[in-house]
Amino acid sequence: MLEIKNLSVTYGSKVALTVPNLNINKGEIIGVMGESGSGKSTLVNSCLGLVRFKGQVTLETDNVGVLMQEQHYVDTMTNQKIIEGLLNTRIKRDDKLAELINFFDFGSQLSLHFKNLSGGQKQRMSLIMVLYQEPELLFLDEMTTGLDFESRQALINHLKVYFKQHQTTVIMVTHYAQEIEQLADKLLIIHDGQVMAFDKPKNLFNQYIGYSAFIVGNNAGNSISIHQPEEEYSVARQLIDNGDDFRRTQGDIELVYTAITKGQ
């Protein structure tokens, strides 16, 4: 679905991003993590042809959808008029659109104006219009930033069902590890303009953390890696005897991200 070879993006004299080789298959959901300025948005913009680059980016489809962090629409019309006007259709005569509105629980917001919507409602409205086009390849760039936990979780739950039903290929840029844990098939980590890792989260956990880990005090920065199953009992026993608050994990993405970017 998407292939990148020897990609290089330069802003002035600074190399902002290099990607030697990257292949994303049809139907895969890729979670992209990295610090601000690491090159995540540059990757998306390169794939969309919005920045100049050296190398090769090959998309197997022209049916591409994009949803960025912030959306803006006029406030002089209701949301229904905006949706119908931009999509050139009518909800009452369009079963596909009506189903999307129902799927994202947006029916009660149709009579409102965009400025009166919550952050989560605004993103759902934008998703309705993007997904109406039935994109084969979808780019989501920090779409849940600024949303409260409840709104973010509700949106992720909707998308999890939708992507499974439609086999959409998704490139999802986010700094929320939980979103990747819930949605992504693979994790792509970019750090200082370099691709540091690209694989299934479970494989990366096994490679960089081990068999499992204990996170002490609910702080991913304070963890104990376990490399063999037989080690777990003695370590857990010691933590219990010490009165420590801890949890066990075999897939915490924040641990993986920290280990890779800090070179642990």
pLDDT for 188:
95
Is residue 126 a contact partner of residue 67, using CB atoms and an 8 Å limit?
yes
pLDDT digits (tens, 9 = 90+) for 50-72: 888 899 998 888 889 888 766 77
DSSP 114-141: GGGS-HHHHHHHHHHHHHHT--SEEEEE
Mean pLDDT of each 10-residue bin along the chain, 264 residues long:
90 88 91 88 89 89 82 85 93 92 89 87 87 90 76 82 84 85 90 92 92 83 86 88 87 88 73
Residues 145 and 235 in one domain: no
CA 137 to CA 122: how far, in whole Å?
Answer: 21
Q: 182 lies in which domain range?
A: 2-63+134-199
Residues 256 and 144 grouped into a single domain = no
Q: Which of 176, 199, 222 is the last residue of a domain?
A: 199
pLDDT at 4: 92
SS3 184: coil
Q: Which residue has the tokens 């965009």?
A: 114
Which pLDDT score, from 0 to 100, does residue 35 have? 87
Q: Confirm whether 227 is domain-assigned.
A: yes
Same domain, 58 and 160: yes
pLDDT at residue 220, rounded to an integer: 67
Q: What is the mean pLDDT of the chain?
A: 87
Contacts of 184 (CB under 8 A, 6+ apart): 29, 30, 31, 172, 201
In a domain, 172, yes or no: yes
Task: Write down the pLDDT at residue 11.
Answer: 87
Residue where a domain terminates, one of 199, 223, 250: 199
Q: Among candidates 183, 165, 166, which has minimal Cα distance to 174?
A: 183
